[in-house]
Amino acid sequence: MPQLIVGLGNPGDKYAQTRHNIGFRVIDALAQAWHIPLAQHSKFHGLFGEGITPGLGKIRLLKPTTYMNQSGQSVRAVLDWYKLPLNSILVIYDDADLALGRVRIRLGGSSGGHNGMRSIISHGGSEQFPRLRVGIANEFRLNQKGPRDAVPYVLANFSSEDLKVLPDVLDLAVAAVTACVREGVEQSMNLYNGRVLQWR
């Protein structure tokens, strides 16, 4: 069962509303749902909080504030401090090729070109740790033909249409993370990987 939930994003107001920061938003939603306050911890290079949640036990939440491509430094610091194995984490991050309204849980795998994941794999020394990808691709992006450059898209703010459904997306992600902690990652894959939010 995951003991450290990590949400990826970039620090600062400039990036706060971007699609790339959906991992930060999910951590904020989890902190609110589980009543776990977050505070800056210099030794962890990030915003961190821990608490005991009924039915889930002790939970730790982390938002690395190292910028995306150094996220592994923050994760490594927490793992070393609490003597946790790499596979005890669950990393939440954006996927520009997965539809908005979907999540995808995996037990391991490559970074898929995501700089934050690449950093965690590098600092952790393995690809074998659970992760939850949150879809951020709207219909316009999904219907684009030819090569699609992800960088401008992920660093842009959510559109006004996307913002209307974002609360539902966050609720789905919170439910999926909760299931991972309560039921286990493998069982949660069966529950959530095929689920699609319907709002159109």
153 is in an annotated binding site: no
Query: Under a CB-based contact definition with an 8 Å cutoff, are residues 60 and 47 in contact?
Result: no
Tell me the residue range of the domain where 132 lies: 4-192
> Is there a catalytic annotation at residue 41?
no
Task: Tell me the per-residue pLDDT of 101-148, one tens digit each, with 9 for 90 and over.
Answer: 999 999 999 999 999 999 999 999 999 999 999 999 987 777 777 667
Evaluated on CA atoms 186, 190, 191, 195, the torsion sign reads positive
Whether 56 maps to a domain, the answer reads: yes
69 is in an annotated binding site: yes
Question: What is the rounded end-to-end Cα distance, in angstroms, of the chain?
Answer: 35
Domain CATH for 57: 3.40.50.1470
82 is in an annotated binding site: no
**pLDDT the model gives residue 146:** 66
Q: What is the SS3 assignment for 2?
A: coil
Whether 18 maps to a domain, the answer reads: yes
Whether 200 maps to a domain, the answer reads: no
As given in the structure block, the two tokens for residue 170 are 């966050």
Query: Under a CB-based contact definition with an 8 Å cutoff, are residues 98 and 133 in contact?
Result: yes
Average pLDDT over residues 79-108: 97
Residue 74 pLDDT level (bands cut at 50, 70, 90): very high
% of the chain at pLDDT higher than 70:
98
Return d(Cα 139, Cα 20) in angstroms, integer: 17
Average pLDDT over residues 85-101: 96
Return d(Cα 141, Cα 193) in angstroms, integer: 21
10 is in an annotated binding site: no
Whether 199 maps to a domain, the answer reads: no
Residue 199 pLDDT level (bands cut at 50, 70, 90): low
Count of structural domains, the chain: 1
Whether 117 maps to a domain, the answer reads: yes
**pLDDT the model gives residue 34:** 96
pLDDT top residue among 199 and 50: 50
Return d(Cα 55, Cα 169) in angstroms, integer: 23
Residue 181 pLDDT level (bands cut at 50, 70, 90): very high
| CA distances for 67 relative to 10, 21, 61, 121, 170, angstroms | 5, 11, 17, 16, 22
Whether 197 maps to a domain, the answer reads: no
